[in-house]
Amino acid sequence: MKRFLVVANLALLMAAGTVRAADVPDVDDDNAAVEAVPSEHALRISGVIGRRFEDDVRAALQSHPETQRLIVSGPGGMRAQALRVAELANARGLAVRVAGRCASACALMWAAANTREMTFDSGLGLHRSALDPSLALPNLVREKIMARNDRQTDDVLRHAGFPERVIAVGAATPASAMSWFSPYELKTGGVPFLLLDTSGHAASLDTNTGHILHGSARADTARTSQ
């Protein structure tokens, strides 16, 4: 029994860095593109969150210390890498902005950020976690890891102010599927973030119609921390 527990705990540690979203390209071969956008004082990040993600973001920030935000989109990837970049953004006081579709580990990264932004035409995708099927793990260990990751996801979303209804829908969505949420659903559900219009200006929602009420302040001067 002791031998099994030792092996199981070792497997948990080894798998922690390889947890990824289902139905996305192999994180061993793919990694999100990280591109500086000086005009927006931003790094634009798109694609799969792979093994080099944190290192690539750190290198880009070192080359562009004026960066104020990370503009993210993508299908997900490695959750540990995503959470470490969220911690990095928080330590540097950077906003994390969703522009486009941001799912799974990408959504987790956004939720874990202290300062969040979202364009009105974006979408956030949630589902249960999955493990790389190539990992040779006993079923019991695999189930334990996924249950732990799902609890962590729920905790991150709850801390970010997501309503229980949204958390429950995400938790009930299989790893092979995705539940998408609009800025309207998140705003009316009470999730705190800065909503932006197409020109990058702060905006608000008419909760009765769902229409965007355009503001006049740009996000550079209207950033808010949650």
Instruction: Give the pLDDT score at 214.
Output: 63
Lowest mean pLDDT among 156-160, 164-168, 192-196, 197-201: 197-201
Instruction: Give the pLDDT score at 29.
Output: 66
Q: How many residues does the chain have?
A: 226
Q: Which amino acid is at 22?
A: A
Number of domains in the chain: 1
pLDDT in tens, 189-216: 999 999 998 777 888 777 676 676 665 4
Q: Which amino acid is at 8?
A: A
CATH code of 55's domain: 3.90.226.10
For residues 224 and 226, what is the distance between their CA atoms, to the nearest angstrom?
Answer: 7
208 CB neighbour count, 10 Å cutoff:
6
For residues 22 and 186, what is the distance between their CA atoms, to the nearest angstrom?
Answer: 24
For residues 193 and 213, what is the distance between their CA atoms, to the nearest angstrom?
Answer: 15
17 or 54, which is more confident? Answer: 54
pLDDT band at 30 (very low <50, low <70, confident <90, very high): confident
Domain of residue 184: give its range: 2-222
- Average pLDDT rounded to a whole number, residues 29-40: 92
187 or 215, which is more confident? Answer: 187
Q: Strand pairing of 42-46 and 33-37?
A: antiparallel
Tokens 């609009």 belong to residue: 182
Tell me the percentage of the chain whose pLDDT exceeds 90: 65
For residues 57 and 43, what is the distance between their CA atoms, to the nearest angstrom?
Answer: 8
Lowest mean pLDDT among 42-51, 110-119, 125-134: 125-134
Instruction: Give the pLDDT score at 156.
Output: 97
Instruction: Give the pLDDT score at 197.
Output: 86
pLDDT in tens, 67-117: 999 999 999 999 999 999 999 999 999 999 999 999 999 999 999 999 999
- Average pLDDT rounded to a whole number, residues 157-181: 96
Instruction: Give the pLDDT score at 146.
Output: 87
